[in-house]
Amino acid sequence: MQERLQELKADALKQVEEANEVKALQDVKVQYLGKKGPITEVLKGMGKLPKEERPVIGQLANDVREEIATAIETKKQKLENEALEKQLEEETIDVTLPGRPAPTGGPHLLTNLIEEIEDLFIGMGFEVAEGPEVEADYYNFEALNLPKGHPARDMQDSFYITEEILMRTHTSPVQARTMEKHEGKGPVKIICPGKVYRRDTDDATHSHQFTQIEGLLVDKHVRMSDLKGVLNAFAKQMFGEEREIRLRPSFFPFTEPSVEMDISCKMCGGEGCSVCKGTGWIEILGAGMVHPNVLEMAGYDPKEYTGFAFGMGPERIAMLKYGIDDIRHFYTNDVRFLNQFHKA
Ligand code: 2NL
């Protein structure tokens, strides 16, 4: 009987040893320790043994059962640990792998350019002012020395909501409104960016909707040289220290005198090329001293106050800066175009 138990133990431990998955261990357990297993059989047959052998065999059978159970449990732990190790090994995340790039949006290049221009003027003490795009005829035209029937109105035909209300054709009404709010007491020093509208047929250089930035400075003793100094500082910061500016006489109904400002051509350094059409100069903006009628209508005494104003088109500046050949590229929003100006 003792031999039989030792044999069973040896067999069971061998099978435990050989098992390489938890399922196999389960089978060993059922086979040797189950209700119908050989050890249970031995214990059941104890009654037939001589009395003095019973405790010895009983003890041995229990020991064998205990040893097999312990061996199974130990092996089970070992297999489970190995499986866990293997799983951890296989499912390791390599945190050094680069992630998939998420496509990101960004401001439109005109937005970036307008903000860049705003920042330059903020640096010179200007404040940003905004106003309505749907505007009264009074602020868009009348207050800017363009009475009804003025021939210059033809060049700025608009989209009319009613006889008296229209889409603004420039951002000047914002300046007229701001001056009016000051009730004749200066100074006013503002920069006005925004969308403007003209009744125009769209082509490579015309659009019925575009952007504008205008500036206005009103105070006592403001002179043409102040205008020139501010515009020179702007041109050099915007286009490069090596740039020269040039003012040419021009006409605007809301300024007198009026000028057109050119910057020296960077492409040819003033020699003359296709960008500057052989002149060495590129037209950037229009400006002038605020017309006394405009000051007066806004509530300022033109004998006490003077001012200068200027206006430019961000599209035109971007087209020159980046060599863009068609104004419609700004509005059709083809990402292949826009991404070229996407700041990282
Ligand atoms: C251009 C020229 C200009 C102004 C805009 C202005 C505004 C007020 C009074 C006087 Cl409230 N002037 N604005 C003056 C001169 C030129 O724009 O070529 N813009 C694209």
Who lines ligand 1 at CB under 6 A? 144, 172, 175-176, 212, 214, 216, 252, 254-255, 285-288, 290, 294, 309-313
Looking from the CA of residue 312, the nearest atom of ligand 1 is: 20
What's the pLDDT score for residue 269? 66
Name the least confident of 108-112, 199-203, 275-279.
275-279
What's the 309 CA to ligand 1 centre distance in angstroms? 6
Q: What is the average pLDDT across 116-130?
A: 97
- Ligand 1 centroid distance, CA of 218 (Å): 13
Q: At what angle do helices 2-18 and 22-33 cross, to 10 degrees?
A: 170
What confidence category does residue 267 fall into, taking pLDDT thresholds of 50, 70 and 90? low
Mean pLDDT value of segment 249-262: 97
What pLDDT score does 344 carry? 58
pLDDT of residue 229 exceeding 90: yes
Average pLDDT across the chain, whole number? 90
Please tell me the CATH superfamily of domain 109-341, with its number.
Bira Bifunctional Protein; Domain 2 (3.30.930.10)
**Spacing, Cα 109 to ligand 1 middle (Å):** 23
**Max mean pLDDT range (50-64, 259-273, 297-311):** 297-311
Q: Which residue has the higher pLDDT, 99 or 268?
A: 99
Q: Is residue 246 over pLDDT 70? A: yes
**Percent of the chain residues topping a pLDDT of 90:** 53
Average of per-residue pLDDT across 52-56: 81
Domain regions of the chain by residue span: 2-91, 109-341
What is the spatial distance between Cα 74 and Cα 197, in angstroms, rounded to a whole number? 84
Nearest ligand 1 atom to alpha carbon 175: 11
CA distance 127 to 189: 6
- Whether pTM > 0.85 for this model: the answer is no
